[in-house]
Structure 1
Amino acid sequence: MALQSDRGLVAATRIAAGDDRTYYDGFAITLHWLTAVLVIAQFALAELWGFAPRQTRHLMIVTHMSLGIILTVVLIVRVAWRLMPGHQVRAAEVGWVERASKAVHYLLYGLLAAEAVLGFVLRWSGNEAMSFFGLLIPPPFAPFSREAHHLVNELHEWIGWTIVIVAAGHALAALFHHYVLRDDVLWRMMPGYRARYEEARAPAPDHAAPR
């Protein structure tokens, strides 16, 4: 019974960690951590600019928009890179655990994509231009009604919180695997892991003396 419980815990945390047995290359690892940094920065800016003076608040909002555009580009590149052949290997395990783990990744990608789209729509629906470090991108459509604009704003906020909660669970599961289960779930998203993995699998050199 205890063994089944342990296996269930491993499966649950593997799902939450989004462990689909992908062996990430250096570029994918860079995109992953860049996404994490940008998400944290975006959330912090949005939560803190209400306490800042007017001039500082404007700068924080412009920075939020600019980083949001960068995050959108990073997300597009990340999805495209992940779908390209040669960036995944056959799953070490199959079944519902692997499918659920993939679903966690897809959920995060979907939430990030929705948040990016809503960020553009929110700005433009209020008849304001997006700003990319001072470069203005004018609205491509007419402004929304006040009620519709408010709804977009609420959706943008709720999805932002959802991303943070799901990402926090994802990170905690990876840390649990690393410090409690002591497996390689977290290590596989660290730089240099693939080289260490290949080195560990390489056959030991034959040091036998020649006859």
Structure 2
Amino acid sequence: MADIVTLSSHGRRYDAVARGLHWGMAGLILVAFALGLTVDLFPKSWEGGLVAVHKDIGIGLIVLVVLRLLWRLTHRPPQRVQHTALVGTAAKLGHAALYGLMALVPVIGLVYSIRRGQSFDFGLFALPPFQAAEPRDITRPIREWHEWAAYALIGLAGLHALGALWHHVIRKDDTLRLMLPKN
């Protein structure tokens, strides 16, 4: 990604906003994924509330991924640890795929909700359904795309975490420390 001038130098670690967005989004993604996987395990009377929380997190993630991209475009990241060309290319491709999936998963979920004729309740206000519900046989593929994209996101995030641990434990470099809170 192109870097635009930043107002402050971050030195050898990401700034507090970048770290907060990173870890906050990671936590929200895990909660949304866990809710999506386990909603059927709870009493049926809880389903509406759990699905609403899942959808609220998804809408929040759409906003956060836009903010994160804007932050990344306007703030220089810390100087990277030296990598081989292969590791550097894999990291760039992996990060691009993570950003893509972080945007794609909630957008597909939003499209599914709209096509199912569902409303969006944000606590202080609600948006009515944008259209009448379409039959499940038409919307089922959208739900499946949402689910498979979510599995891909979690899998890729797991590889991302393993890569950070590989840097920390095997290579013994500062890659992981760049995103950790200050000691």
Q: Secondary structure at the match of 2:174?
A: coil
TM-score by length of 1: 0.73
1:60-75 superposed matches below 5 A: 60-75=50-65
Name the structure 2 match of 1:126.
116
The structural deviation recorded for 1:148 is 2.8
In structure 2, how many angstroms separate the alpha carbons of the residues matched to 1:31 and 1:98? 23
1:182: how far off? 1.8
User: In structure 2, the residue corresponding to 1:166 is in which secondary structure?
Assistant: helix
Q: Which residue of 2 aligns with 1:172?
A: 162
1:190 aligned to which of 158, 172, 180: 180
Structure 1 contact 120–130 (Cα < 8 Å) conserved: no
How many angstroms does 1:185 deviate by?
Answer: 1.2
**Superposition map of 1:1-20 within 5 A:** none
Question: Shift of residue 96 of structure 1?
Answer: 4.5
The answer as to 2:34 corresponding to 1:44 is yes
> Residue type of the partner of 2:112?
L
| Distance across 1 between alignment mates of 2:171 and 2:79 | 23
User: Which residue of structure 1 lines up, in the alignment, with residue 145 of structure 2?
Assistant: 155
State the distance in 2 between where 1:129 and 1:106 align: 32
Deviates more, 1:26-35 or 1:53-62: 53-62
Other-structure match for 1:116: 106
- 1:136 aligned to which of 101, 126, 134: 126
Aligned residue-pair number: 172
Contact 1:124 1:141 in 2 (8 A): yes
Give the Å deviation of 1:23. Answer: 4.3
SS at match of 1:24: coil
5+ long unaligned stretches in structure 1: 1-21, 194-211
> How far apart in 2 are the matches of 1:144 and 1:180?
52
2-structure distance, mates of 1:160, 1:114: 9
Per the TM alignment, residue 53 of structure 1 is displaced from its structure 2 partner at its CA by 0.8
Say if 2:28 is the partner of 1:28.
no
Preserved CA contact (<8 Å) 2:105 2:146 = yes
Task: Give the direction of change, closer, same or farther, for the CA distance of 1:76–1:112 in structure 2 (3 Å limit).
Answer: same
TM-score norm. by structure 2 comes to 0.83
Which one-letter code corresponds to 2:145 in the other structure?
L
Overall identity of the aligned pairs, in %: 33
| In 1: Cα distance, 2:102 partner to 2:176 partner | 21
